[in-house]
Chains A and B, each alone.
Chain A
Amino acid sequence: MSRTEVLDPEVGRTLSALSASAKRGLGDPALAELVVIRASQLNHCAFCLDMHLGIAREHGVSEKQLDLLAAWEEAEGVYDERERAALALTEAVTVLTEGFVPDAVWATAAEQFDDGQLAHLIGLVVAINNWNRVMVARRIPPGGHRP
Protein backbone atom coordinates (compact mmCIF):
# COMPACT_ATOMS: atom_id res chain seq x y z
CA MET A 1 0.00 0.00 0.00
CA SER A 2 1.49 3.35 -0.95
CA ARG A 3 1.36 6.17 1.52
CA THR A 4 -0.59 9.37 1.30
CA GLU A 5 0.83 12.56 -0.17
CA VAL A 6 -1.97 14.55 1.44
CA LEU A 7 -1.05 17.36 3.79
CA ASP A 8 -3.84 19.77 4.67
CA PRO A 9 -2.98 23.15 3.05
CA GLU A 10 -3.51 25.08 6.29
CA VAL A 11 -1.30 22.60 8.16
CA GLY A 12 1.36 23.11 5.47
CA ARG A 13 1.09 26.90 5.68
CA THR A 14 1.33 26.96 9.47
CA LEU A 15 4.26 24.52 9.49
CA SER A 16 6.02 26.89 7.09
CA ALA A 17 5.13 29.94 9.19
CA LEU A 18 6.57 28.25 12.27
CA SER A 19 9.83 27.40 10.49
CA ALA A 20 10.13 30.89 9.00
CA SER A 21 9.50 32.74 12.27
CA ALA A 22 11.99 30.57 14.16
CA LYS A 23 14.66 30.97 11.49
CA ARG A 24 14.11 34.72 11.27
CA GLY A 25 14.35 35.11 15.04
CA LEU A 26 17.56 33.11 15.23
CA GLY A 27 19.08 35.41 12.62
CA ASP A 28 21.86 33.05 11.52
CA PRO A 29 20.87 31.20 8.32
CA ALA A 30 24.07 29.11 8.09
CA LEU A 31 23.77 27.90 11.70
CA ALA A 32 20.06 27.25 11.12
CA GLU A 33 20.92 24.86 8.28
CA LEU A 34 23.43 22.94 10.41
CA VAL A 35 20.76 22.52 13.09
CA VAL A 36 18.10 21.47 10.62
CA ILE A 37 20.36 18.98 8.85
CA ARG A 38 21.53 17.41 12.13
CA ALA A 39 17.95 16.88 13.32
CA SER A 40 17.03 15.41 9.92
CA GLN A 41 19.94 12.98 10.23
CA LEU A 42 18.71 11.83 13.64
CA ASN A 43 15.16 11.42 12.35
CA HIS A 44 16.29 9.80 9.07
CA CYS A 45 14.36 12.23 6.87
CA ALA A 46 15.66 11.75 3.33
CA PHE A 47 13.48 14.50 1.85
CA CYS A 48 14.60 17.01 4.49
CA LEU A 49 18.30 16.10 4.13
CA ASP A 50 18.17 16.52 0.37
CA MET A 51 16.40 19.86 0.65
CA HIS A 52 18.50 21.37 3.41
CA LEU A 53 21.88 20.19 2.16
CA GLY A 54 21.05 22.19 -0.97
CA ILE A 55 19.99 25.26 1.02
CA ALA A 56 23.07 25.00 3.27
CA ARG A 57 25.36 25.14 0.22
CA GLU A 58 23.46 28.19 -1.03
CA HIS A 59 24.13 29.83 2.34
CA GLY A 60 27.83 29.08 2.02
CA VAL A 61 28.11 26.36 4.66
CA SER A 62 31.39 24.58 3.92
CA GLU A 63 31.53 21.06 2.49
CA LYS A 64 33.65 20.03 5.45
CA GLN A 65 31.03 21.18 7.95
CA LEU A 66 28.35 19.28 6.04
CA ASP A 67 30.47 16.14 5.57
CA LEU A 68 31.36 15.82 9.25
CA LEU A 69 28.04 16.87 10.75
CA ALA A 70 26.99 13.34 11.79
CA ALA A 71 30.18 13.17 13.89
CA TRP A 72 30.46 16.83 14.89
CA GLU A 73 31.48 16.04 18.47
CA GLU A 74 34.62 14.30 17.21
CA ALA A 75 35.42 16.86 14.53
CA GLU A 76 37.79 19.18 16.31
CA GLY A 77 38.32 22.55 14.73
CA VAL A 78 35.41 22.25 12.30
CA TYR A 79 32.64 23.87 14.37
CA ASP A 80 32.98 26.83 16.71
CA GLU A 81 31.70 26.90 20.31
CA ARG A 82 28.40 28.48 19.35
CA GLU A 83 27.75 25.91 16.66
CA ARG A 84 28.69 23.07 19.00
CA ALA A 85 26.34 24.38 21.70
CA ALA A 86 23.52 24.62 19.16
CA LEU A 87 24.18 21.10 17.83
CA ALA A 88 24.24 19.59 21.32
CA LEU A 89 20.91 21.26 22.10
CA THR A 90 19.50 20.10 18.76
CA GLU A 91 20.33 16.50 19.57
CA ALA A 92 18.89 16.67 23.08
CA VAL A 93 15.65 18.28 21.92
CA THR A 94 15.31 15.81 19.04
CA VAL A 95 15.94 12.59 20.99
CA LEU A 96 13.43 13.22 23.78
CA THR A 97 12.28 9.62 24.13
CA GLU A 98 15.59 8.58 25.68
CA GLY A 99 15.57 11.19 28.44
CA PHE A 100 15.32 14.87 29.16
CA VAL A 101 17.39 17.81 27.96
CA PRO A 102 20.43 17.62 30.28
CA ASP A 103 21.26 20.64 32.44
CA ALA A 104 24.81 20.73 31.06
CA VAL A 105 23.56 20.92 27.48
CA TRP A 106 21.12 23.65 28.44
CA ALA A 107 23.76 25.63 30.36
CA THR A 108 26.21 25.52 27.47
CA ALA A 109 23.55 26.73 25.04
CA ALA A 110 22.50 29.48 27.45
CA GLU A 111 26.11 30.71 27.56
CA GLN A 112 26.23 31.08 23.79
CA PHE A 113 22.73 32.39 23.07
CA ASP A 114 20.59 35.05 24.75
CA ASP A 115 17.03 34.18 25.77
CA GLY A 116 15.49 35.42 22.54
CA GLN A 117 17.94 33.50 20.36
CA LEU A 118 17.52 30.43 22.54
CA ALA A 119 13.71 30.52 22.24
CA HIS A 120 14.02 30.75 18.45
CA LEU A 121 16.69 28.05 18.30
CA ILE A 122 14.37 25.69 20.20
CA GLY A 123 11.58 26.76 17.85
CA LEU A 124 13.74 25.87 14.88
CA VAL A 125 14.57 22.41 16.26
CA VAL A 126 10.87 21.86 16.94
CA ALA A 127 9.95 23.06 13.44
CA ILE A 128 12.35 20.70 11.64
CA ASN A 129 11.23 17.86 13.89
CA ASN A 130 7.71 18.64 12.61
CA TRP A 131 8.80 18.44 8.98
CA ASN A 132 10.80 15.29 9.64
CA ARG A 133 7.67 13.65 11.07
CA VAL A 134 5.24 14.62 8.33
CA MET A 135 7.75 13.59 5.64
CA VAL A 136 8.97 10.32 7.19
CA ALA A 137 5.46 9.19 8.18
CA ARG A 138 4.27 9.64 4.59
CA ARG A 139 7.55 8.37 3.02
CA ILE A 140 7.91 11.45 0.84
CA PRO A 141 10.89 10.71 -1.44
CA PRO A 142 13.92 13.01 -1.59
CA GLY A 143 14.38 15.31 -4.54
CA GLY A 144 10.93 16.89 -4.50
CA HIS A 145 12.12 20.24 -3.22
CA ARG A 146 12.83 22.90 -5.80
CA PRO A 147 14.51 26.03 -4.49
Chain B
Amino acid sequence: MCSTSLNPQEKSGKISEPAMPDFKTITIVNSPFYLRHDTGSNHPESSERMTAVMNRLLSEGGAKSGLGLPLRLIPPRMAEREDVVSLHTENYLMRFEEACLSGKEWLGHSDNRISYDSYEAAFLSAGAGLTAIDFLENGSKDPIFCCVRPPGHHAEAALALGFCFLNNVAIAARYWQRRYGRKRIFILDFDAHHGNGIQEFFDEDSSVFYVSIHEHPTFSFPGTGWANDTGTGAGTGFTLNIPLAPGSSDDVVIKAMESQVKPALTAFQPDAMLVAAGFDGHSLDDMSGLAYSTRLYAKLGSYLSVWAGICEDRLVSILEGGYHLEALAAGVEAYLMGLALKV
Protein backbone atom coordinates (compact mmCIF):
# COMPACT_ATOMS: atom_id res chain seq x y z
CA MET B 1 0.00 0.00 0.00
CA CYS B 2 1.41 3.34 -0.99
CA SER B 3 1.74 5.67 1.98
CA THR B 4 0.82 8.81 -0.01
CA SER B 5 -2.76 7.60 -0.21
CA LEU B 6 -3.16 8.04 3.56
CA ASN B 7 -4.32 11.43 4.70
CA PRO B 8 -2.36 13.34 7.37
CA GLN B 9 -4.99 12.86 10.08
CA GLU B 10 -4.70 9.12 9.84
CA LYS B 11 -0.96 9.34 10.26
CA SER B 12 -1.39 11.26 13.47
CA GLY B 13 -3.91 8.70 14.61
CA LYS B 14 -6.90 11.14 14.58
CA ILE B 15 -9.79 11.24 12.18
CA SER B 16 -11.47 14.63 11.95
CA GLU B 17 -15.26 14.97 11.79
CA PRO B 18 -16.45 15.25 8.19
CA ALA B 19 -18.25 18.51 7.50
CA MET B 20 -22.00 17.89 7.77
CA PRO B 21 -24.14 19.69 5.22
CA ASP B 22 -26.01 22.48 6.95
CA PHE B 23 -29.63 23.27 6.11
CA LYS B 24 -31.90 26.24 6.54
CA THR B 25 -35.20 25.55 8.29
CA ILE B 26 -37.87 24.68 5.74
CA THR B 27 -41.39 25.94 6.25
CA ILE B 28 -44.09 23.54 5.06
CA VAL B 29 -47.61 24.86 4.53
CA ASN B 30 -50.03 21.96 4.83
CA SER B 31 -53.41 21.06 6.24
CA PRO B 32 -55.02 17.69 6.98
CA PHE B 33 -58.12 19.15 5.32
CA TYR B 34 -56.45 18.47 1.93
CA LEU B 35 -57.19 14.78 2.51
CA ARG B 36 -60.89 15.55 2.38
CA HIS B 37 -60.82 16.34 -1.32
CA ASP B 38 -61.93 12.79 -2.13
CA THR B 39 -61.36 11.68 -5.72
CA GLY B 40 -62.72 8.17 -5.23
CA SER B 41 -60.95 4.94 -5.93
CA ASN B 42 -58.33 4.44 -8.63
CA HIS B 43 -57.72 8.13 -9.21
CA PRO B 44 -54.09 9.24 -9.65
CA GLU B 45 -54.63 12.54 -7.81
CA SER B 46 -55.46 10.84 -4.50
CA SER B 47 -55.13 11.89 -0.88
CA GLU B 48 -52.45 9.18 -0.55
CA ARG B 49 -50.16 11.59 -2.40
CA MET B 50 -50.34 14.05 0.46
CA THR B 51 -49.95 11.33 3.05
CA ALA B 52 -46.89 9.92 1.28
CA VAL B 53 -45.15 13.30 1.18
CA MET B 54 -46.01 14.32 4.73
CA ASN B 55 -45.04 10.92 6.15
CA ARG B 56 -41.72 11.18 4.45
CA LEU B 57 -41.07 14.71 5.63
CA LEU B 58 -42.29 14.27 9.20
CA SER B 59 -40.58 11.00 9.91
CA GLU B 60 -38.96 12.29 13.10
CA GLY B 61 -42.11 13.54 14.69
CA GLY B 62 -42.27 16.75 12.73
CA ALA B 63 -39.06 18.49 13.74
CA LYS B 64 -36.89 16.94 11.09
CA SER B 65 -37.27 14.95 7.90
CA GLY B 66 -35.73 11.54 7.37
CA LEU B 67 -32.75 13.27 5.81
CA GLY B 68 -32.41 15.45 8.88
CA LEU B 69 -33.85 18.57 7.27
CA PRO B 70 -35.10 20.98 9.93
CA LEU B 71 -38.79 21.70 9.38
CA ARG B 72 -41.45 24.12 10.55
CA LEU B 73 -45.07 23.28 9.82
CA ILE B 74 -47.65 26.05 9.43
CA PRO B 75 -51.35 25.82 8.54
CA PRO B 76 -52.72 27.53 5.44
CA ARG B 77 -55.53 30.05 5.56
CA MET B 78 -58.45 30.01 3.14
CA ALA B 79 -58.05 32.15 0.04
CA GLU B 80 -60.45 35.10 0.16
CA ARG B 81 -63.05 35.24 -2.54
CA GLU B 82 -61.56 38.50 -3.83
CA ASP B 83 -58.16 36.80 -4.27
CA VAL B 84 -59.78 34.15 -6.43
CA VAL B 85 -62.25 36.23 -8.46
CA SER B 86 -59.40 38.33 -9.78
CA LEU B 87 -58.70 35.21 -11.92
CA HIS B 88 -61.65 32.82 -11.96
CA THR B 89 -65.14 33.89 -13.01
CA GLU B 90 -67.97 34.19 -10.47
CA ASN B 91 -70.08 31.90 -12.61
CA TYR B 92 -67.42 29.18 -12.61
CA LEU B 93 -66.98 29.41 -8.84
CA MET B 94 -70.73 29.09 -8.39
CA ARG B 95 -70.86 26.01 -10.62
CA PHE B 96 -67.92 24.49 -8.76
CA GLU B 97 -69.43 25.07 -5.32
CA GLU B 98 -72.85 23.90 -6.42
CA ALA B 99 -71.39 20.72 -7.97
CA CYS B 100 -69.60 19.85 -4.71
CA LEU B 101 -72.49 20.59 -2.39
CA SER B 102 -75.03 18.77 -4.55
CA GLY B 103 -72.99 15.58 -4.57
CA LYS B 104 -71.85 15.61 -8.22
CA GLU B 105 -68.91 13.30 -8.91
CA TRP B 106 -66.96 15.52 -11.25
CA LEU B 107 -66.68 19.00 -12.70
CA GLY B 108 -66.54 19.59 -16.46
CA HIS B 109 -64.84 16.28 -17.28
CA SER B 110 -64.89 12.98 -15.42
CA ASP B 111 -61.13 13.44 -14.77
CA ASN B 112 -61.90 16.21 -12.33
CA ARG B 113 -63.41 14.18 -9.51
CA ILE B 114 -64.93 16.10 -6.63
CA SER B 115 -66.50 15.41 -3.27
CA TYR B 116 -68.54 17.46 -0.79
CA ASP B 117 -65.41 19.14 0.66
CA SER B 118 -63.54 19.77 -2.61
CA TYR B 119 -64.58 23.41 -2.97
CA GLU B 120 -63.31 24.26 0.50
CA ALA B 121 -60.16 22.19 -0.02
CA ALA B 122 -59.48 24.08 -3.26
CA PHE B 123 -59.78 27.44 -1.46
CA LEU B 124 -57.47 26.14 1.25
CA SER B 125 -55.06 24.91 -1.43
CA ALA B 126 -55.05 28.35 -3.08
CA GLY B 127 -54.73 29.93 0.37
CA ALA B 128 -51.46 28.13 1.12
CA GLY B 129 -49.59 30.24 -1.42
CA LEU B 130 -50.98 33.40 0.18
CA THR B 131 -50.02 32.19 3.65
CA ALA B 132 -46.51 31.49 2.37
CA ILE B 133 -46.25 34.96 0.82
CA ASP B 134 -47.39 36.62 4.05
CA PHE B 135 -44.83 34.53 5.96
CA LEU B 136 -41.99 35.63 3.67
CA GLU B 137 -43.11 39.24 3.66
CA ASN B 138 -43.05 39.19 7.46
CA GLY B 139 -39.32 38.76 7.29
CA SER B 140 -38.55 35.05 6.83
CA LYS B 141 -35.72 34.23 4.44
CA ASP B 142 -36.08 30.48 4.79
CA PRO B 143 -37.33 28.23 2.00
CA ILE B 144 -41.07 27.64 1.98
CA PHE B 145 -43.06 24.86 0.34
CA CYS B 146 -46.82 24.60 -0.03
CA CYS B 147 -47.69 20.92 0.16
CA VAL B 148 -51.20 21.15 -1.27
CA ARG B 149 -53.93 19.50 -3.26
CA PRO B 150 -55.93 19.83 -5.41
CA PRO B 151 -53.21 21.05 -7.78
CA GLY B 152 -53.78 24.15 -9.89
CA HIS B 153 -51.73 24.83 -13.00
CA HIS B 154 -54.21 23.43 -15.57
CA ALA B 155 -57.20 25.39 -14.21
CA GLU B 156 -58.33 28.35 -16.33
CA ALA B 157 -60.67 31.25 -15.63
CA ALA B 158 -63.78 29.14 -16.15
CA LEU B 159 -62.40 25.66 -16.72
CA ALA B 160 -61.48 22.76 -14.47
CA LEU B 161 -58.88 20.61 -16.22
CA GLY B 162 -56.41 17.86 -15.40
CA PHE B 163 -57.47 17.45 -11.73
CA CYS B 164 -57.13 21.23 -11.18
CA PHE B 165 -59.91 23.60 -10.06
CA LEU B 166 -58.34 26.85 -8.86
CA ASN B 167 -55.03 28.03 -10.25
CA ASN B 168 -53.03 28.21 -7.03
CA VAL B 169 -49.88 29.65 -8.59
CA ALA B 170 -51.69 32.30 -10.65
CA ILE B 171 -53.74 33.36 -7.62
CA ALA B 172 -50.52 33.66 -5.58
CA ALA B 173 -48.85 35.75 -8.30
CA ARG B 174 -51.72 38.24 -8.40
CA TYR B 175 -51.86 38.39 -4.61
CA TRP B 176 -48.15 39.13 -4.36
CA GLN B 177 -48.53 41.96 -6.83
CA ARG B 178 -51.64 43.43 -5.26
CA ARG B 179 -50.98 42.97 -1.54
CA TYR B 180 -47.25 43.69 -1.45
CA GLY B 181 -46.60 45.61 -4.66
CA ARG B 182 -44.09 43.06 -5.94
CA LYS B 183 -44.68 44.00 -9.54
CA ARG B 184 -42.56 41.56 -11.49
CA ILE B 185 -43.25 37.89 -10.83
CA PHE B 186 -41.20 35.07 -12.36
CA ILE B 187 -42.87 31.65 -12.45
CA LEU B 188 -40.97 28.42 -13.11
CA ASP B 189 -43.12 25.35 -13.74
CA PHE B 190 -41.19 22.08 -13.79
CA ASP B 191 -44.20 19.77 -13.66
CA ALA B 192 -44.04 17.21 -16.50
CA HIS B 193 -47.14 18.82 -18.03
CA HIS B 194 -47.57 22.29 -19.42
CA GLY B 195 -49.37 24.72 -17.13
CA ASN B 196 -51.90 25.90 -19.70
CA GLY B 197 -53.82 27.80 -17.03
CA ILE B 198 -50.88 29.87 -15.86
CA GLN B 199 -49.88 30.61 -19.44
CA GLU B 200 -53.41 31.63 -20.35
CA PHE B 201 -53.85 33.98 -17.38
CA PHE B 202 -50.65 35.89 -18.07
CA ASP B 203 -50.45 35.52 -21.85
CA GLU B 204 -50.81 39.26 -22.47
CA ASP B 205 -49.13 40.38 -19.26
CA SER B 206 -45.56 41.64 -19.23
CA SER B 207 -45.43 41.75 -15.42
CA VAL B 208 -45.47 37.97 -15.06
CA PHE B 209 -42.85 35.83 -16.80
CA TYR B 210 -43.95 32.21 -17.17
CA VAL B 211 -41.39 29.49 -17.91
CA SER B 212 -42.49 25.89 -18.30
CA ILE B 213 -40.31 22.84 -18.85
CA HIS B 214 -42.58 19.95 -19.89
CA GLU B 215 -42.99 16.93 -22.14
CA HIS B 216 -43.69 17.96 -25.73
CA PRO B 217 -47.38 18.75 -26.41
CA THR B 218 -47.53 16.37 -29.38
CA PHE B 219 -47.21 13.53 -26.88
CA SER B 220 -48.34 14.84 -23.57
CA PHE B 221 -51.36 16.20 -21.73
CA PRO B 222 -52.84 18.80 -22.11
CA GLY B 223 -51.48 19.30 -25.65
CA THR B 224 -50.40 22.92 -25.13
CA GLY B 225 -47.08 24.66 -24.47
CA TRP B 226 -45.53 24.93 -27.92
CA ALA B 227 -42.10 26.49 -28.14
CA ASN B 228 -43.44 29.21 -30.40
CA ASP B 229 -46.04 30.36 -27.84
CA THR B 230 -44.12 33.28 -26.39
CA GLY B 231 -46.98 35.48 -25.23
CA THR B 232 -49.39 37.85 -26.97
CA GLY B 233 -49.58 41.62 -27.35
CA ALA B 234 -47.88 43.38 -24.45
CA GLY B 235 -46.99 39.95 -23.06
CA THR B 236 -44.95 38.96 -26.11
CA GLY B 237 -41.61 37.61 -24.94
CA PHE B 238 -42.84 36.95 -21.38
CA THR B 239 -43.71 33.28 -21.88
CA LEU B 240 -41.01 30.66 -22.38
CA ASN B 241 -42.03 27.11 -23.20
CA ILE B 242 -39.36 24.43 -23.18
CA PRO B 243 -40.91 21.22 -24.53
CA LEU B 244 -38.85 18.05 -24.10
CA ALA B 245 -38.93 14.84 -26.13
CA PRO B 246 -40.34 11.74 -24.43
CA GLY B 247 -37.56 9.94 -22.62
CA SER B 248 -35.70 13.17 -21.76
CA SER B 249 -33.71 12.94 -18.55
CA ASP B 250 -31.82 15.15 -16.10
CA ASP B 251 -29.12 16.42 -18.43
CA VAL B 252 -31.66 17.98 -20.83
CA VAL B 253 -33.35 19.84 -17.99
CA ILE B 254 -30.07 21.03 -16.50
CA LYS B 255 -28.99 22.30 -19.90
CA ALA B 256 -32.31 24.15 -20.31
CA MET B 257 -31.96 25.67 -16.83
CA GLU B 258 -28.50 26.98 -17.66
CA SER B 259 -29.00 28.06 -21.25
CA GLN B 260 -32.62 29.27 -21.26
CA VAL B 261 -34.09 29.76 -17.80
CA LYS B 262 -31.13 31.53 -16.23
CA PRO B 263 -30.79 34.17 -18.99
CA ALA B 264 -34.57 34.76 -18.94
CA LEU B 265 -34.51 35.23 -15.18
CA THR B 266 -31.52 37.54 -15.30
CA ALA B 267 -33.06 39.67 -18.02
CA PHE B 268 -36.46 39.86 -16.29
CA GLN B 269 -35.14 40.90 -12.86
CA PRO B 270 -38.17 39.77 -10.87
CA ASP B 271 -39.33 41.11 -7.52
CA ALA B 272 -40.53 37.65 -6.51
CA MET B 273 -40.54 34.05 -7.77
CA LEU B 274 -43.10 31.25 -7.74
CA VAL B 275 -42.42 27.63 -8.55
CA ALA B 276 -45.08 25.23 -9.82
CA ALA B 277 -43.35 22.15 -8.45
CA GLY B 278 -44.57 18.95 -10.08
CA PHE B 279 -42.78 15.64 -9.64
CA ASP B 280 -44.44 13.58 -12.39
CA GLY B 281 -41.44 13.82 -14.72
CA HIS B 282 -39.79 11.11 -12.62
CA SER B 283 -38.92 7.95 -14.55
CA LEU B 284 -41.15 5.86 -12.28
CA ASP B 285 -44.19 8.08 -12.90
CA ASP B 286 -46.17 6.81 -15.89
CA MET B 287 -48.22 10.01 -16.18
CA SER B 288 -45.48 11.33 -18.46
CA GLY B 289 -42.81 9.86 -20.69
CA LEU B 290 -40.04 11.92 -19.08
CA ALA B 291 -37.28 10.06 -17.28
CA TYR B 292 -36.02 12.33 -14.51
CA SER B 293 -34.19 10.95 -11.50
CA THR B 294 -34.80 12.01 -7.89
CA ARG B 295 -31.42 13.75 -7.97
CA LEU B 296 -32.69 16.22 -10.55
CA TYR B 297 -35.14 17.66 -8.03
CA ALA B 298 -32.29 18.31 -5.58
CA LYS B 299 -30.45 20.06 -8.38
CA LEU B 300 -33.51 22.17 -9.28
CA GLY B 301 -33.87 23.10 -5.61
CA SER B 302 -30.27 24.24 -5.40
CA TYR B 303 -30.53 26.28 -8.60
CA LEU B 304 -33.60 28.05 -7.27
CA SER B 305 -32.09 28.59 -3.85
CA VAL B 306 -29.19 30.44 -5.44
CA TRP B 307 -31.17 32.19 -8.16
CA ALA B 308 -33.75 33.50 -5.68
CA GLY B 309 -30.99 35.84 -4.53
CA ILE B 310 -32.02 37.99 -7.50
CA CYS B 311 -35.21 38.92 -5.60
CA GLU B 312 -33.97 38.79 -1.99
CA ASP B 313 -35.06 35.18 -1.55
CA ARG B 314 -38.72 35.92 -2.18
CA LEU B 315 -39.44 32.42 -3.49
CA VAL B 316 -42.54 30.30 -2.89
CA SER B 317 -42.89 26.75 -4.21
CA ILE B 318 -46.31 25.16 -4.64
CA LEU B 319 -46.91 21.46 -5.26
CA GLU B 320 -48.55 20.51 -8.56
CA GLY B 321 -48.46 16.93 -9.91
CA GLY B 322 -46.53 13.78 -9.06
CA TYR B 323 -48.47 10.53 -9.01
CA HIS B 324 -46.01 7.77 -8.16
CA LEU B 325 -46.21 7.90 -4.39
CA GLU B 326 -42.61 6.87 -3.63
CA ALA B 327 -41.10 9.01 -6.39
CA LEU B 328 -43.24 11.97 -5.35
CA ALA B 329 -42.22 11.79 -1.69
CA ALA B 330 -38.55 11.30 -2.56
CA GLY B 331 -38.71 14.06 -5.18
CA VAL B 332 -40.21 16.59 -2.77
CA GLU B 333 -37.63 15.75 -0.13
CA ALA B 334 -34.76 16.04 -2.62
CA TYR B 335 -36.12 19.36 -3.90
CA LEU B 336 -36.38 20.74 -0.35
CA MET B 337 -32.88 19.53 0.42
CA GLY B 338 -31.59 21.46 -2.60
CA LEU B 339 -33.57 24.55 -1.59
CA ALA B 340 -32.39 24.45 2.02
CA LEU B 341 -28.73 23.57 1.61
CA LYS B 342 -26.48 26.29 3.02
CA VAL B 343 -23.58 26.96 0.69
Q: Do A and B bind each other?
A: no
